[in-house]
Structure 1
Amino acid sequence: MEFQSRRSSSTMMMGALSTLSPHQFSTLSQVLGSTFHLHRRRRLALLLSPALFSLSLRHLRSLSLHHKSLLIARFHLSTLKHLTLNWDVHVHSGGSAGLLRLRDVDSALLLLLLSEFRHHHPLPLQGLSTSKCRGLLLDYVLGRHMFAVSALGLSTSTTCGVVSSYIHHTARFLDVIGCSDIAIGKTGREVATSVATVVSLPSIKVPARHTDDDNLFECVICKEEMREGREVCKLPCEHLFHWGCVLPWLKKRNTCPYCRFRLPTDDVFGEIERLWGLLVNKSRMSNCQ
Protein backbone atom coordinates (compact mmCIF):
# COMPACT_ATOMS: atom_id res chain seq x y z
CA MET A 1 0.00 0.00 0.00
CA GLU A 2 2.85 2.41 0.88
CA PHE A 3 4.63 1.68 -2.42
CA GLN A 4 1.39 2.16 -4.37
CA SER A 5 0.76 5.49 -2.64
CA ARG A 6 4.30 6.64 -3.39
CA ARG A 7 3.98 5.59 -7.04
CA SER A 8 0.65 7.43 -7.31
CA SER A 9 2.19 10.60 -5.88
CA SER A 10 5.15 10.36 -8.26
CA THR A 11 2.89 9.80 -11.27
CA MET A 12 0.75 12.78 -10.29
CA MET A 13 3.81 15.04 -9.95
CA MET A 14 5.21 13.96 -13.31
CA GLY A 15 1.83 14.68 -14.91
CA ALA A 16 1.78 18.18 -13.42
CA LEU A 17 5.35 18.88 -14.52
CA SER A 18 4.51 17.83 -18.07
CA THR A 19 2.42 21.02 -18.35
CA LEU A 20 5.50 23.23 -17.81
CA SER A 21 7.24 24.92 -20.71
CA PRO A 22 10.91 23.96 -21.37
CA HIS A 23 11.99 27.27 -19.85
CA GLN A 24 9.88 26.74 -16.73
CA PHE A 25 11.17 23.19 -16.34
CA SER A 26 14.79 24.35 -16.69
CA THR A 27 14.27 27.14 -14.17
CA LEU A 28 12.69 24.73 -11.69
CA SER A 29 15.61 22.31 -11.95
CA GLN A 30 18.08 25.15 -11.39
CA VAL A 31 16.22 26.37 -8.32
CA LEU A 32 15.93 22.88 -6.87
CA GLY A 33 19.58 22.12 -7.63
CA SER A 34 20.69 25.32 -5.92
CA THR A 35 18.47 24.66 -2.91
CA PHE A 36 19.74 21.11 -2.47
CA HIS A 37 23.34 22.27 -2.89
CA LEU A 38 22.83 24.66 0.02
CA HIS A 39 21.27 21.84 2.05
CA ARG A 40 24.24 19.59 1.40
CA ARG A 41 26.72 22.27 2.42
CA ARG A 42 24.75 22.96 5.58
CA ARG A 43 24.61 19.27 6.44
CA LEU A 44 28.35 18.92 5.94
CA ALA A 45 28.98 21.95 8.16
CA LEU A 46 26.73 20.37 10.75
CA LEU A 47 28.74 17.14 10.74
CA LEU A 48 32.11 18.89 10.76
CA SER A 49 31.28 21.03 13.81
CA PRO A 50 31.11 19.06 17.09
CA ALA A 51 29.38 21.95 18.87
CA LEU A 52 26.78 22.53 16.15
CA PHE A 53 26.10 18.81 15.81
CA SER A 54 25.68 18.42 19.56
CA LEU A 55 23.22 21.33 19.74
CA SER A 56 21.18 20.04 16.80
CA LEU A 57 21.06 16.48 18.15
CA ARG A 58 20.04 17.72 21.59
CA HIS A 59 17.25 19.83 20.07
CA LEU A 60 16.09 16.91 17.94
CA ARG A 61 15.94 14.57 20.93
CA SER A 62 13.83 17.10 22.83
CA LEU A 63 11.08 16.99 20.19
CA SER A 64 8.06 14.71 20.43
CA LEU A 65 7.14 12.45 17.52
CA HIS A 66 4.43 14.91 16.49
CA HIS A 67 6.86 17.82 16.44
CA LYS A 68 9.37 15.79 14.46
CA SER A 69 6.67 15.13 11.86
CA LEU A 70 5.85 18.83 11.86
CA LEU A 71 9.54 19.66 11.37
CA ILE A 72 9.80 17.40 8.33
CA ALA A 73 6.51 18.77 7.01
CA ARG A 74 7.86 22.34 7.17
CA PHE A 75 11.04 21.22 5.44
CA HIS A 76 9.00 19.50 2.73
CA LEU A 77 6.77 22.55 2.34
CA SER A 78 9.77 24.83 1.76
CA THR A 79 10.72 22.87 -1.38
CA LEU A 80 7.15 22.09 -2.42
CA LYS A 81 6.64 25.82 -2.86
CA HIS A 82 9.36 25.82 -5.51
CA LEU A 83 7.59 23.02 -7.34
CA THR A 84 4.20 24.77 -7.37
CA LEU A 85 5.46 28.30 -8.00
CA ASN A 86 4.30 28.33 -11.62
CA TRP A 87 0.66 27.62 -10.69
CA ASP A 88 0.21 29.31 -7.32
CA VAL A 89 -1.65 32.62 -7.56
CA HIS A 90 -0.72 33.40 -3.94
CA VAL A 91 3.06 33.51 -4.28
CA HIS A 92 3.15 37.05 -2.85
CA SER A 93 0.62 36.59 -0.08
CA GLY A 94 1.38 33.22 1.49
CA GLY A 95 1.49 32.76 5.26
CA SER A 96 4.31 31.70 7.55
CA ALA A 97 3.68 27.94 7.30
CA GLY A 98 6.84 27.28 5.29
CA LEU A 99 9.21 29.47 7.26
CA LEU A 100 12.11 27.63 8.91
CA ARG A 101 14.67 28.93 11.35
CA LEU A 102 18.25 27.82 10.78
CA ARG A 103 18.11 25.62 13.89
CA ASP A 104 15.06 23.86 12.46
CA VAL A 105 16.78 23.39 9.10
CA ASP A 106 19.73 21.76 10.89
CA SER A 107 17.41 19.52 12.90
CA ALA A 108 15.45 18.52 9.79
CA LEU A 109 18.62 17.71 7.86
CA LEU A 110 19.92 15.67 10.78
CA LEU A 111 16.62 13.81 11.19
CA LEU A 112 16.54 12.92 7.48
CA LEU A 113 20.15 11.78 7.64
CA LEU A 114 19.48 9.58 10.66
CA SER A 115 16.48 8.07 8.88
CA GLU A 116 18.56 7.39 5.78
CA PHE A 117 21.41 5.90 7.84
CA ARG A 118 19.05 3.53 9.65
CA HIS A 119 17.63 2.46 6.30
CA HIS A 120 21.07 1.38 5.05
CA HIS A 121 22.69 0.26 8.30
CA PRO A 122 21.25 -1.98 10.99
CA LEU A 123 23.71 -0.47 13.47
CA PRO A 124 21.73 1.36 16.20
CA LEU A 125 22.89 4.87 17.12
CA GLN A 126 20.80 5.41 20.25
CA GLY A 127 23.34 4.12 22.76
CA LEU A 128 26.38 5.78 21.18
CA SER A 129 28.07 8.94 22.41
CA THR A 130 27.45 12.15 20.48
CA SER A 131 30.99 12.16 19.08
CA LYS A 132 30.77 8.53 17.97
CA CYS A 133 27.39 9.14 16.35
CA ARG A 134 28.74 12.17 14.51
CA GLY A 135 31.76 10.20 13.30
CA LEU A 136 29.64 7.39 11.88
CA LEU A 137 27.32 9.78 10.10
CA LEU A 138 30.23 11.77 8.69
CA ASP A 139 31.92 8.61 7.37
CA TYR A 140 28.60 7.56 5.86
CA VAL A 141 28.07 10.89 4.10
CA LEU A 142 31.62 11.15 2.79
CA GLY A 143 31.64 7.54 1.67
CA ARG A 144 28.20 7.31 0.11
CA HIS A 145 27.41 10.80 -1.15
CA MET A 146 30.78 12.33 -1.95
CA PHE A 147 29.51 13.61 -5.27
CA ALA A 148 25.93 14.32 -4.29
CA VAL A 149 24.82 17.93 -4.23
CA SER A 150 21.97 17.77 -1.81
CA ALA A 151 21.14 16.72 1.69
CA LEU A 152 18.82 14.19 0.12
CA GLY A 153 21.38 12.47 -2.07
CA LEU A 154 20.13 14.00 -5.30
CA SER A 155 22.12 14.06 -8.48
CA THR A 156 22.46 17.11 -10.74
CA SER A 157 24.08 15.34 -13.65
CA THR A 158 21.11 16.37 -15.82
CA THR A 159 18.16 18.72 -15.60
CA CYS A 160 15.76 15.78 -15.61
CA GLY A 161 17.91 14.05 -13.00
CA VAL A 162 17.36 16.82 -10.48
CA VAL A 163 13.60 16.90 -10.92
CA SER A 164 13.11 13.13 -11.09
CA SER A 165 15.17 12.65 -7.93
CA TYR A 166 13.19 15.38 -6.22
CA ILE A 167 9.95 13.64 -7.20
CA HIS A 168 11.19 10.37 -5.72
CA HIS A 169 12.24 11.91 -2.43
CA THR A 170 9.13 14.09 -2.18
CA ALA A 171 6.99 10.97 -2.41
CA ARG A 172 9.09 9.46 0.38
CA PHE A 173 8.51 12.57 2.50
CA LEU A 174 4.79 11.98 2.29
CA ASP A 175 5.30 8.53 3.75
CA VAL A 176 7.60 9.81 6.50
CA ILE A 177 5.18 12.48 7.71
CA GLY A 178 2.06 10.41 7.08
CA CYS A 179 0.67 12.69 4.37
CA SER A 180 -0.83 10.11 2.02
CA ASP A 181 -4.31 11.59 2.59
CA ILE A 182 -2.99 15.13 2.26
CA ALA A 183 -1.59 14.36 -1.19
CA ILE A 184 -5.05 13.43 -2.44
CA GLY A 185 -7.00 15.96 -0.39
CA LYS A 186 -8.85 13.54 1.90
CA THR A 187 -8.01 14.94 5.34
CA GLY A 188 -11.37 16.62 5.87
CA ARG A 189 -9.80 19.15 8.25
CA GLU A 190 -10.80 22.81 8.29
CA VAL A 191 -8.02 25.36 8.74
CA ALA A 192 -8.06 29.15 8.85
CA THR A 193 -6.89 31.34 5.99
CA SER A 194 -3.56 33.01 6.68
CA VAL A 195 -3.78 36.58 8.00
CA ALA A 196 -1.42 37.81 5.26
CA THR A 197 -3.76 36.46 2.59
CA VAL A 198 -6.89 37.97 4.17
CA VAL A 199 -5.22 41.38 4.42
CA SER A 200 -4.25 41.23 0.72
CA LEU A 201 -7.77 40.47 -0.53
CA PRO A 202 -9.11 43.29 -2.74
CA SER A 203 -12.22 45.30 -2.06
CA ILE A 204 -14.30 46.10 -5.15
CA LYS A 205 -17.64 47.66 -5.93
CA VAL A 206 -20.44 45.35 -7.06
CA PRO A 207 -20.74 45.86 -10.81
CA ALA A 208 -23.95 46.54 -12.70
CA ARG A 209 -25.94 43.48 -13.73
CA HIS A 210 -25.19 42.17 -17.21
CA THR A 211 -26.63 38.71 -16.66
CA ASP A 212 -29.71 37.04 -15.23
CA ASP A 213 -27.62 34.71 -13.06
CA ASP A 214 -28.59 35.75 -9.52
CA ASN A 215 -25.77 33.65 -8.04
CA LEU A 216 -23.25 36.23 -9.25
CA PHE A 217 -24.94 38.95 -7.19
CA GLU A 218 -25.87 37.01 -4.08
CA CYS A 219 -23.63 36.44 -1.07
CA VAL A 220 -23.92 32.66 -0.65
CA ILE A 221 -23.05 32.97 3.06
CA CYS A 222 -25.98 35.18 4.10
CA LYS A 223 -28.11 34.53 1.00
CA GLU A 224 -28.76 38.27 0.58
CA GLU A 225 -28.36 40.32 -2.57
CA MET A 226 -25.22 42.41 -3.06
CA ARG A 227 -26.40 45.81 -4.20
CA GLU A 228 -24.74 47.54 -7.13
CA GLY A 229 -21.93 49.87 -6.05
CA ARG A 230 -21.47 48.28 -2.60
CA GLU A 231 -17.90 47.48 -1.44
CA VAL A 232 -17.45 43.71 -1.24
CA CYS A 233 -14.61 41.21 -0.96
CA LYS A 234 -13.30 39.53 -4.10
CA LEU A 235 -11.57 36.15 -3.73
CA PRO A 236 -8.96 34.98 -6.27
CA CYS A 237 -11.58 32.65 -7.79
CA GLU A 238 -13.54 35.83 -8.73
CA HIS A 239 -16.45 35.18 -6.33
CA LEU A 240 -17.79 38.10 -4.31
CA PHE A 241 -18.96 38.21 -0.69
CA HIS A 242 -19.97 40.76 1.91
CA TRP A 243 -16.93 41.63 4.03
CA GLY A 244 -18.92 41.10 7.19
CA CYS A 245 -19.81 37.58 6.04
CA VAL A 246 -16.56 36.36 4.55
CA LEU A 247 -14.17 37.50 7.30
CA PRO A 248 -15.65 35.20 10.00
CA TRP A 249 -15.70 32.42 7.42
CA LEU A 250 -12.00 32.84 6.57
CA LYS A 251 -11.07 32.87 10.24
CA LYS A 252 -12.17 29.23 10.34
CA ARG A 253 -11.68 27.99 6.78
CA ASN A 254 -9.32 28.53 3.85
CA THR A 255 -11.85 27.73 1.13
CA CYS A 256 -14.19 29.81 -0.99
CA PRO A 257 -17.76 29.39 0.33
CA TYR A 258 -19.03 28.99 -3.24
CA CYS A 259 -16.50 26.86 -5.16
CA ARG A 260 -14.15 25.58 -2.40
CA PHE A 261 -11.09 27.18 -3.97
CA ARG A 262 -8.26 26.93 -1.42
CA LEU A 263 -6.46 29.96 -0.02
CA PRO A 264 -3.10 29.92 1.81
CA THR A 265 -3.07 28.97 5.48
CA ASP A 266 -0.54 29.15 8.31
CA ASP A 267 -1.33 25.51 9.16
CA VAL A 268 1.61 23.47 7.81
CA PHE A 269 -0.34 20.36 6.81
CA GLY A 270 -3.19 22.48 5.46
CA GLU A 271 -0.76 24.41 3.26
CA ILE A 272 0.81 21.18 2.00
CA GLU A 273 -2.67 19.96 1.12
CA ARG A 274 -3.42 23.21 -0.74
CA LEU A 275 -0.23 23.01 -2.82
CA TRP A 276 -0.75 19.33 -3.54
CA GLY A 277 -4.22 20.29 -4.74
CA LEU A 278 -2.56 22.51 -7.36
CA LEU A 279 -0.46 19.58 -8.52
CA VAL A 280 -3.48 17.29 -8.67
CA ASN A 281 -5.41 19.77 -10.81
CA LYS A 282 -2.48 20.29 -13.19
CA SER A 283 -1.95 16.54 -13.45
CA ARG A 284 -5.61 16.07 -14.40
CA MET A 285 -5.29 18.77 -17.01
CA SER A 286 -2.31 16.98 -18.55
CA ASN A 287 -4.36 13.77 -18.80
CA CYS A 288 -7.14 15.61 -20.62
CA GLN A 289 -4.82 17.11 -23.22
Structure 2
Amino acid sequence: MEETTATIMASLSTLTPSHLTHLTNSILSSTRRHHRRLTFLLSSPTLFSLTLHHLHTLSLPQKSLLISRHLLSSLHLLTRHIQSNYATSPKPLPPPISTSLTERELDAVLLLLMLCETHKHNPEALNAPFCNWRVNLRNVFSVTLLTVSSYSAPPLGACLGSVLIPFVEMVSRCWRLVGVLGCDGRDEGGKGVKEVAASAATVVALPAVEVSVGGRECVICKDEMRVGRDVCELPCQHLFHWVCILPWLGKRNTCPCCRFRLPSDDVFGEIQRLWEVLVKIGEKNYRMLN
Protein backbone atom coordinates (compact mmCIF):
# COMPACT_ATOMS: atom_id res chain seq x y z
CA MET A 1 0.00 0.00 0.00
CA GLU A 2 2.88 2.39 0.77
CA GLU A 3 4.34 1.73 -2.69
CA THR A 4 0.98 2.50 -4.29
CA THR A 5 0.67 5.76 -2.37
CA ALA A 6 4.24 6.74 -3.25
CA THR A 7 3.59 6.16 -6.96
CA ILE A 8 0.49 8.35 -6.95
CA MET A 9 2.17 11.11 -4.95
CA ALA A 10 5.15 11.07 -7.34
CA SER A 11 2.81 11.61 -10.31
CA LEU A 12 0.89 14.32 -8.44
CA SER A 13 4.13 16.18 -7.77
CA THR A 14 4.38 16.88 -11.51
CA LEU A 15 1.26 19.06 -11.50
CA THR A 16 1.41 22.82 -11.80
CA PRO A 17 -0.52 24.84 -9.19
CA SER A 18 -3.39 25.45 -11.61
CA HIS A 19 -3.67 21.77 -12.58
CA LEU A 20 -3.46 20.80 -8.91
CA THR A 21 -6.31 23.18 -8.10
CA HIS A 22 -8.49 21.75 -10.88
CA LEU A 23 -7.79 18.21 -9.69
CA THR A 24 -8.51 19.12 -6.08
CA ASN A 25 -11.84 20.70 -7.00
CA SER A 26 -12.82 17.60 -9.00
CA ILE A 27 -11.89 15.31 -6.11
CA LEU A 28 -13.74 17.51 -3.64
CA SER A 29 -16.88 17.42 -5.80
CA SER A 30 -16.70 13.63 -6.06
CA THR A 31 -16.05 13.25 -2.32
CA ARG A 32 -19.04 15.38 -1.40
CA ARG A 33 -21.29 13.35 -3.67
CA HIS A 34 -20.15 10.14 -2.01
CA HIS A 35 -20.63 11.62 1.44
CA ARG A 36 -24.17 12.66 0.56
CA ARG A 37 -24.92 9.11 -0.51
CA LEU A 38 -23.44 7.68 2.69
CA THR A 39 -25.34 10.18 4.81
CA PHE A 40 -28.60 9.19 3.14
CA LEU A 41 -27.74 5.50 3.42
CA LEU A 42 -26.90 5.67 7.13
CA SER A 43 -29.98 7.77 7.86
CA SER A 44 -32.42 5.33 6.28
CA PRO A 45 -32.97 2.03 8.13
CA THR A 46 -34.70 0.54 5.10
CA LEU A 47 -32.04 1.53 2.56
CA PHE A 48 -29.26 0.43 4.90
CA SER A 49 -30.85 -3.00 5.40
CA LEU A 50 -31.40 -3.47 1.66
CA THR A 51 -27.83 -2.44 0.83
CA LEU A 52 -26.32 -4.64 3.52
CA HIS A 53 -28.41 -7.58 2.30
CA HIS A 54 -27.27 -6.89 -1.26
CA LEU A 55 -23.63 -7.03 -0.16
CA HIS A 56 -24.21 -10.35 1.59
CA THR A 57 -25.52 -11.84 -1.68
CA LEU A 58 -22.41 -10.86 -3.65
CA SER A 59 -19.57 -13.32 -4.20
CA LEU A 60 -15.94 -12.28 -3.69
CA PRO A 61 -15.36 -11.77 -7.45
CA GLN A 62 -18.50 -9.63 -7.63
CA LYS A 63 -17.33 -7.51 -4.70
CA SER A 64 -13.92 -7.21 -6.32
CA LEU A 65 -15.50 -6.04 -9.57
CA LEU A 66 -17.56 -3.47 -7.68
CA ILE A 67 -14.49 -2.05 -5.94
CA SER A 68 -12.53 -2.21 -9.21
CA ARG A 69 -15.08 -0.08 -11.03
CA HIS A 70 -14.91 2.45 -8.22
CA LEU A 71 -11.10 2.37 -8.43
CA LEU A 72 -11.21 2.75 -12.21
CA SER A 73 -13.35 5.87 -11.93
CA SER A 74 -10.81 7.41 -9.54
CA LEU A 75 -7.85 6.51 -11.76
CA HIS A 76 -9.57 8.10 -14.76
CA LEU A 77 -9.99 11.27 -12.75
CA LEU A 78 -6.31 11.28 -11.76
CA THR A 79 -4.82 10.47 -15.15
CA ARG A 80 -7.08 12.92 -17.00
CA HIS A 81 -5.70 15.82 -14.98
CA ILE A 82 -2.11 14.58 -14.78
CA GLN A 83 -1.75 13.80 -18.50
CA SER A 84 -3.17 17.18 -19.45
CA ASN A 85 -0.12 18.66 -17.71
CA TYR A 86 2.17 17.07 -20.32
CA ALA A 87 2.12 18.70 -23.73
CA THR A 88 4.29 15.92 -25.17
CA SER A 89 2.15 13.06 -23.82
CA PRO A 90 -0.38 11.29 -26.03
CA LYS A 91 -3.74 12.99 -25.76
CA PRO A 92 -5.69 11.52 -22.81
CA LEU A 93 -8.25 9.08 -24.14
CA PRO A 94 -11.86 9.08 -22.92
CA PRO A 95 -13.10 6.16 -20.85
CA PRO A 96 -14.11 3.31 -23.22
CA ILE A 97 -16.64 1.96 -20.75
CA SER A 98 -19.02 3.61 -18.35
CA THR A 99 -17.23 4.11 -15.04
CA SER A 100 -20.35 5.55 -13.45
CA LEU A 101 -22.17 3.39 -10.97
CA THR A 102 -25.89 3.20 -10.40
CA GLU A 103 -27.08 4.54 -7.06
CA ARG A 104 -27.52 0.99 -5.80
CA GLU A 105 -23.98 0.05 -6.87
CA LEU A 106 -22.52 3.24 -5.41
CA ASP A 107 -24.29 2.65 -2.11
CA ALA A 108 -22.98 -0.91 -2.04
CA VAL A 109 -19.34 -0.04 -2.75
CA LEU A 110 -19.32 2.91 -0.32
CA LEU A 111 -20.80 0.76 2.43
CA LEU A 112 -18.38 -2.06 1.64
CA LEU A 113 -15.37 0.26 1.87
CA MET A 114 -16.68 1.76 5.08
CA LEU A 115 -17.19 -1.68 6.60
CA CYS A 116 -13.60 -2.60 5.71
CA GLU A 117 -12.22 0.57 7.30
CA THR A 118 -14.41 0.23 10.38
CA HIS A 119 -13.36 -3.39 10.82
CA LYS A 120 -9.74 -2.25 10.72
CA HIS A 121 -9.88 0.85 12.92
CA ASN A 122 -13.10 0.54 14.97
CA PRO A 123 -13.89 -3.19 15.17
CA GLU A 124 -15.98 -2.70 18.30
CA ALA A 125 -18.62 -0.94 16.17
CA LEU A 126 -19.19 -4.19 14.26
CA ASN A 127 -19.09 -6.49 17.26
CA ALA A 128 -22.64 -5.43 18.08
CA PRO A 129 -25.74 -7.14 16.59
CA PHE A 130 -26.62 -6.27 12.98
CA CYS A 131 -29.53 -4.14 14.17
CA ASN A 132 -27.04 -1.73 15.79
CA TRP A 133 -24.61 -1.49 12.88
CA ARG A 134 -26.31 1.44 11.18
CA VAL A 135 -26.24 3.66 14.28
CA ASN A 136 -22.67 2.67 15.11
CA LEU A 137 -21.47 3.32 11.56
CA ARG A 138 -23.30 6.64 11.48
CA ASN A 139 -21.44 7.72 14.62
CA VAL A 140 -18.10 6.67 13.11
CA PHE A 141 -18.89 8.45 9.86
CA SER A 142 -20.02 11.71 11.49
CA VAL A 143 -16.46 12.68 12.43
CA THR A 144 -15.19 12.30 8.87
CA LEU A 145 -18.24 14.03 7.45
CA LEU A 146 -17.77 17.11 9.66
CA THR A 147 -14.09 17.31 8.72
CA VAL A 148 -14.58 17.23 4.97
CA SER A 149 -17.74 19.34 4.88
CA SER A 150 -15.86 22.20 6.51
CA TYR A 151 -13.87 22.73 3.29
CA SER A 152 -15.28 24.59 0.31
CA ALA A 153 -12.52 25.71 -2.04
CA PRO A 154 -9.32 24.93 -0.12
CA PRO A 155 -6.25 27.05 -0.84
CA LEU A 156 -3.29 25.38 -2.47
CA GLY A 157 -1.46 24.93 0.82
CA ALA A 158 -4.41 23.18 2.46
CA CYS A 159 -5.58 20.98 -0.40
CA LEU A 160 -2.85 18.36 0.06
CA GLY A 161 -3.80 17.35 3.57
CA SER A 162 -7.54 17.97 3.46
CA VAL A 163 -8.47 16.56 0.06
CA LEU A 164 -5.66 14.88 -1.88
CA ILE A 165 -4.19 12.66 0.82
CA PRO A 166 -7.55 11.11 1.84
CA PHE A 167 -8.29 10.54 -1.85
CA VAL A 168 -4.90 8.90 -2.46
CA GLU A 169 -5.41 6.72 0.61
CA MET A 170 -8.81 5.65 -0.73
CA VAL A 171 -7.30 4.72 -4.11
CA SER A 172 -4.51 2.76 -2.40
CA ARG A 173 -7.05 0.99 -0.21
CA CYS A 174 -9.14 -0.02 -3.23
CA TRP A 175 -5.99 -1.20 -5.03
CA ARG A 176 -5.06 -3.39 -2.06
CA LEU A 177 -8.57 -4.81 -1.72
CA VAL A 178 -8.72 -5.74 -5.41
CA GLY A 179 -5.39 -7.56 -5.03
CA VAL A 180 -6.47 -9.30 -1.82
CA LEU A 181 -9.59 -10.60 -3.56
CA GLY A 182 -7.40 -12.20 -6.21
CA CYS A 183 -8.14 -10.00 -9.23
CA ASP A 184 -4.84 -8.28 -9.95
CA GLY A 185 -5.06 -8.20 -13.72
CA ARG A 186 -2.66 -11.11 -14.34
CA ASP A 187 -3.18 -13.79 -16.91
CA GLU A 188 -4.35 -17.28 -16.03
CA GLY A 189 -0.78 -18.46 -15.52
CA GLY A 190 -0.12 -15.61 -13.09
CA LYS A 191 3.07 -14.67 -14.95
CA GLY A 192 2.11 -11.30 -16.38
CA VAL A 193 -0.61 -8.83 -17.29
CA LYS A 194 -3.32 -10.55 -19.30
CA GLU A 195 -3.93 -9.49 -22.88
CA VAL A 196 -7.21 -7.72 -23.54
CA ALA A 197 -8.71 -6.37 -26.76
CA ALA A 198 -8.90 -2.66 -27.42
CA SER A 199 -12.39 -1.28 -26.90
CA ALA A 200 -14.59 -1.14 -29.99
CA ALA A 201 -15.33 2.56 -29.41
CA THR A 202 -11.61 3.36 -29.35
CA VAL A 203 -10.89 1.40 -32.51
CA VAL A 204 -13.74 3.04 -34.41
CA ALA A 205 -12.44 6.48 -33.39
CA LEU A 206 -8.88 5.85 -34.67
CA PRO A 207 -7.99 8.31 -37.44
CA ALA A 208 -7.04 7.45 -41.01
CA VAL A 209 -4.02 9.37 -42.29
CA GLU A 210 -2.42 9.52 -45.70
CA VAL A 211 1.13 8.22 -46.07
CA SER A 212 3.25 11.17 -47.19
CA VAL A 213 6.75 9.70 -47.01
CA GLY A 214 7.95 6.53 -48.71
CA GLY A 215 10.07 3.82 -47.17
CA ARG A 216 7.93 3.27 -44.05
CA GLU A 217 6.87 -0.29 -43.38
CA CYS A 218 4.02 -1.78 -41.40
CA VAL A 219 5.74 -3.72 -38.63
CA ILE A 220 2.95 -6.30 -38.59
CA CYS A 221 3.14 -7.49 -42.21
CA LYS A 222 6.61 -6.01 -42.98
CA ASP A 223 5.33 -4.54 -46.27
CA GLU A 224 5.97 -0.95 -47.25
CA MET A 225 3.13 1.54 -46.81
CA ARG A 226 2.65 3.18 -50.20
CA VAL A 227 2.62 6.96 -50.49
CA GLY A 228 -0.91 8.32 -50.77
CA ARG A 229 -2.49 5.30 -49.09
CA ASP A 230 -4.75 5.71 -46.06
CA VAL A 231 -3.41 3.92 -42.99
CA CYS A 232 -4.32 3.79 -39.32
CA GLU A 233 -2.60 6.08 -36.83
CA LEU A 234 -2.53 5.10 -33.16
CA PRO A 235 -2.38 7.77 -30.40
CA CYS A 236 1.37 7.11 -30.11
CA GLN A 237 1.61 8.20 -33.82
CA HIS A 238 2.72 4.82 -35.16
CA LEU A 239 1.16 3.86 -38.50
CA PHE A 240 -0.18 0.49 -39.69
CA HIS A 241 -2.21 -0.98 -42.51
CA TRP A 242 -5.85 -1.10 -41.49
CA VAL A 243 -6.11 -4.73 -42.54
CA CYS A 244 -3.19 -5.54 -40.23
CA ILE A 245 -3.97 -3.47 -37.14
CA LEU A 246 -7.67 -4.30 -36.80
CA PRO A 247 -7.16 -8.04 -36.12
CA TRP A 248 -4.29 -7.13 -33.80
CA LEU A 249 -6.43 -4.75 -31.72
CA GLY A 250 -9.17 -7.37 -31.65
CA LYS A 251 -6.87 -9.47 -29.45
CA ARG A 252 -4.67 -6.97 -27.59
CA ASN A 253 -4.76 -3.27 -26.78
CA THR A 254 -1.06 -2.51 -27.20
CA CYS A 255 0.83 -0.83 -30.03
CA PRO A 256 3.01 -3.40 -31.88
CA CYS A 257 5.90 -0.90 -31.88
CA CYS A 258 6.03 0.76 -28.48
CA ARG A 259 3.50 -1.19 -26.37
CA PHE A 260 1.41 1.94 -25.81
CA ARG A 261 -1.88 0.77 -24.31
CA LEU A 262 -5.22 1.73 -25.78
CA PRO A 263 -8.40 1.69 -23.69
CA SER A 264 -10.18 -1.63 -23.34
CA ASP A 265 -13.61 -2.75 -22.18
CA ASP A 266 -12.03 -4.93 -19.49
CA VAL A 267 -12.17 -3.26 -16.08
CA PHE A 268 -8.97 -4.86 -14.78
CA GLY A 269 -7.18 -4.21 -18.08
CA GLU A 270 -8.14 -0.54 -17.82
CA ILE A 271 -6.89 -0.33 -14.25
CA GLN A 272 -3.56 -1.74 -15.36
CA ARG A 273 -3.36 0.69 -18.31
CA LEU A 274 -4.05 3.76 -16.19
CA TRP A 275 -1.71 2.55 -13.46
CA GLU A 276 1.10 2.31 -16.01
CA VAL A 277 0.42 5.92 -16.98
CA LEU A 278 0.87 7.04 -13.36
CA VAL A 279 4.03 4.94 -12.94
CA LYS A 280 5.66 6.33 -16.11
CA ILE A 281 4.89 9.93 -15.19
CA GLY A 282 6.13 9.44 -11.63
CA GLU A 283 9.35 7.79 -12.82
CA LYS A 284 9.92 10.53 -15.39
CA ASN A 285 9.56 13.18 -12.72
CA TYR A 286 11.95 11.28 -10.42
CA ARG A 287 14.63 11.15 -13.16
CA MET A 288 14.24 14.88 -13.84
CA LEU A 289 14.72 15.73 -10.18
CA ASN A 290 17.77 13.50 -9.85
TM range (shorter): 0.7 to 0.9
The corresponding residue for 1:26 is: 21
SS at match of 2:146: coil
Q: 1:178 to 1:146 in 2, by over 3 A?
A: same
Measure, in 1, the Cα distance between the counterparts of 2:193 and 2:13: 29
Aligned residue for 2:179, secondary structure, equals coil
- Aligned counterpart for 1:199 among listed residues 188, 194, 204: 204
Distance 1:72 1:181, change over 3 A: closer
Aligned-CA RMSD value: 2.4
Q: What TM-score comes out, normalization by structure 2 length?
A: 0.85
Gaps of 5+ in 2: 85-89
Would the aligned equivalents of 1:97 and 1:271 in 2 still touch at CA under 8 Å?
A: no
CA shift in 2, pair 1:181/1:112, >3 Å: closer
In the TM superposition, what is the alpha-carbon distance from 1:121 to its structure 2 partner? 3.1
2:236 counterpart SS class: coil
**Does residue 61 of structure 1 match 2:60?**
no
Matches within 5 A, 1:138-287: 138-142=138-142, 144-149=143-148, 158-161=158-161, 162-178=163-179, 187-209=192-214, 214=215, 217-287=216-286
Equivalent position of 2:9 in the other structure: 14
Report the Cα distance in structure 1 between the residues aligned to 2:2 and 2:125, rounded to whole angstroms.
Answer: 30
Q: Is the 8 A contact 1:93 1:200 kept in 2?
A: no
Q: Indicate the larger mover: 60-69 or 158-167.
A: 158-167
Q: Could you tell me how far 1:182 is from its partner in structure 2?
A: 6.0
Instruction: Please list the CA deviations of residues 128-172 of structure 1 after superposition, one character each: whole Å capped at 9, or x if unmatched.
Output: 34x432222222222x3241338xxxxx69211111222223222
CA distance in 2, matches of 1:231, 1:112: 49
Task: Quickly say closer, same or farther: Cα 1:187–1:37, change in 2 above 3 A.
Answer: farther
Quote how far apart the aligned CAs of 1:244 are: 1.2
Residues matched between the structures, number: 269
Are the equivalent residues in 2 in contact too, given 1:74–1:268 (CA < 8 A)? Answer: yes
- Structure 2 vs 1, CA of residues 233 and 8 (structure 1 numbering), >3 Å: closer, same or farther? same
Structure 1: 5+ residue stretches without partners: 1-5, 151-155
TM-fit CA distance, 1:69: 0.8
CA distance in 2, matches of 1:42, 1:278: 30
Write the letter of the residue equivalent to 1:110: L
1:264 and 1:256 map into 2 onto residues whose CA distance is 11
Q: Shift of residue 125 of structure 1?
A: 4.5
Give a deviation string over 1:267-289, Cα, whole Å, max 9, x none. 11111111111111111111121
Per-residue deviation at 1:70?
0.9
AA matched with 1:71:
L
Output the CA distance in 2 between the equivalents of 1:146 and 1:167.
17
Name the CA distance, whole Å, in 2 between partners of 1:176 and 1:82. 20
- For residue 26 of structure 1, report the CA deviation from its aligned partner: 1.1
Q: 1:52 aligns with which of 39, 47, 52?
A: 47
Is this contact kept in 1: 2:232–2:241, CA < 8 A? yes
- Aligned equivalents of 1:252, 1:226: Cα separation in 2: 23
Give the CA deviation at 1:85: 0.7
